[in-house]
A and B are shown apart, each in its own frame.
Chain A
């Protein structure tokens, strides 16, 4: 492949990346090419005007009084937190690692009290918004959640359980797209109608731990 052809190949890969295709397997190749190719115009010398321009965009920071007040606001909220830091997840091998990959994920709210056992999990499927919802029972005493019933559909009837092989859990955990959010519902353990829409961000660590168990078929049935 000539240098010119390589540039074209890389440009096509970048276009695919913009179109949303995963590029992880080609990332090394693309990065190595862009780092060294003068024709592509992103090597350090060629990129200098851009780098200097972006540095020039830096806006000034507010004065110290702003940050003193800001820190106090944060600490007030921290002091008002009903619970301390949550216990780390880790009961399910592999899940913690996958969460670790999603470093940028926001914290899931912890202040919610869900006294009734509930939890529903939806999974991604190729072009189908709603894939799965599973009602789970969580013991009030804090023991791991169990699948209450996947055979008896809740009132909404929106239940379809799919194989764990069909789910990209990383994508599920990281996803915040509206159509996915819309597919999350929480059901009461007794199968009452969904009370409201939930997102994966709303799931507790126990419920996330159960996610793997549910789709891996590990949990016991309630």
Chain B
């Protein structure tokens, strides 16, 4: 299981058990271990380091509050990722940034030339993906998580996680592809 730690580090499940037993300070071990990952995930999802910092704070506090319900079926990382993603989603909704379907259907213009993946434009396009598709994309590509774990984090099946990922890639490819033109032709 990926909760086991090399080099004599205390296993996540042991730490969780200590916290569940009332040792609040032990929770600091989990915070230290995973806050960078949660921050990175939140930054990818929100595009803002300030919001990512807030997500880290609320996610870990909520994780502490709910830790009694953590049974170790999934890794602590998967579990806290799920909490963090939900915080990101709520942040989006509060700020009215939820992606509307018509916005998705009318993405930004493809980058000039159509070949080089323009970082800025791609970033905008990723932001326009619906929550679950965006989450599946970054969890798969940036965190290298297996679809089974992504499904657990998103609260869906493994197949549905795959569909969300592939759907995101398909959309991005469609948006990035230059419009076919009669003259000039592409390479």
**Chain B contact residues: helix, strand, loop or mixed:** helix
Quick one: which of B22, B27, B43, B153 contacts A104, CB cutoff 8 A? B153
Interfacial residues of chain B within 54-102, with CB under 8 A of chain A in the complex: 56-58, 60-69, 71, 73-74, 78-79, 82-83, 85-87, 89-90, 93, 101
Interface bits A12-37 vs B (CB < 8 Å: 1, else 0): 00100111000110011011001100
The B109-144 residues at the A interface (CB cut-off 8 A) are 117, 119, 122-123, 126, 130, 137-138, 141-142
Judging by beta carbons under 8 Å apart, are A174 and B157 in contact?
A: no
B65/A110 in contact, CB under 8 A: yes
**B104 (CB) vs chain A CBs: closest residue:** A18
* Cβ contact within 8 Å between A85 and B170: no
Measured between alpha carbons, how far is A92 from B174 in the docked complex, in Å? 47
Report yes or no: A42 in contact with B166, Cβ–Cβ below 8 A.
yes
Listed stretches A73-81, A160-168, A186-194; interface member: A73-81
Asked if B172 is at the interface (CB within 8 A of a chain A CB), the reply is yes
Bound complex: CA of A57 vs CA of B63, how far in Å? 28
Cβ-neighbour of B65 out of A55, A62, A81 (below 8 A): A81
Q: Which residues of B contact A52 (CB under 8 A)?
A: 117
Asked whether B15 is an interface residue with its Cβ less than 8 Å from the other chain, the reply is no
| Chain A residues, CB < 8 A from B22 | 84
Given contacts A18-B130, A74-B31, contact A31 B162 (CB under 8 A): yes
> Which of B117, B122, B167 counts the most A-chain CB atoms under 10 A from its CB?
B167
A27 B157 Cβ-Cβ under 8 A: yes
CB-based nearest B residue for A64: B36
CB of A218 closer than 8 Å to a CB of B: no
If A67-B35, A88-B68 touch, does A27 touch B169 (CB 8 Å cutoff)? Answer: no
- Residues of chain B with a CB closer than 8 A to A103's CB: 74, 78-79, 82-83, 152-155
Among A18, A47, A100, A178, point to the contact of B173 (Cβ < 8 A). Answer: A47
> Bound state CA distance, A67 and B32, in angstroms?
8
Q: List 9 A-B contacts (CB under 8 A).
A: A23-B160, A42-B169, A50-B117, A55-B142, A56-B119, A57-B119, A59-B44, A103-B74, A104-B82
With A24-B160, A71-B35, A103-B83 given, can you name 11 additional A-B contacts, CB distance below 8 Å?
A40-B170, A42-B166, A56-B122, A57-B122, A74-B56, A75-B28, A79-B24, A89-B69, A103-B155, A104-B89, A105-B86
